[in-house]
Amino acid sequence: MASAQVTVRQTTLDGVIEAVLTGAIVPLDAPTEDDFHAAWVARGLSATEPTLMAAVGGALADRLAWVFLSGYQATLRRGLPQLPIEPGWSALVNTEGVGDLPGTALTGEPGARRLSGWKTWVAAADHVERLIVSAHQNELPLIVVRRDQPGVVIEHSRAGGYLGEMVQGRVRFDDVAIADEQVTGDASSFPVFRAAEGAYVRVALSAFLLSHAVRLQAPPAFVGRVVQGLVRAASAVALPLPSRAATIAIGAVDAEIRVLAAEFEALVATADPVLHGRWDRDARMVRSDTLARRADEALAGLGLVLPQPSSA
Model confidence at 100: pLDDT above 90 = no
Query: For 103-153, what is each residue's pLDDT tens digit?
Result: 999 999 998 999 999 999 999 999 999 999 999 999 999 999 999 999 999
The mean-pLDDT minimum among 150-159, 200-209, 246-255 falls in 150-159
The structure's pTM equals 0.93
**Span 89-184 CATH architecture:** Beta Barrel (2.40)
- Binning pLDDT at 50, 70 and 90, where does residue 306 land? low
Which secondary structure element, helix H or strand E, spans residue 114, and what is its range? strand 113-122
- Binning pLDDT at 50, 70 and 90, where does residue 5 land? very low
Sign of the CA dihedral with 247 first, then 204, 231, and 308 last: negative
Model confidence at 97: pLDDT above 50 = yes
Strands 128-136 and 89-93: parallel
- Binning pLDDT at 50, 70 and 90, where does residue 6 land? very low
| Dist. CA 280–CA 265, nearest whole Å | 8
CB 51 within 8 A of CB 200: yes
**How is the chain split into domains, by residue range?**
13-77+189-300, 89-184
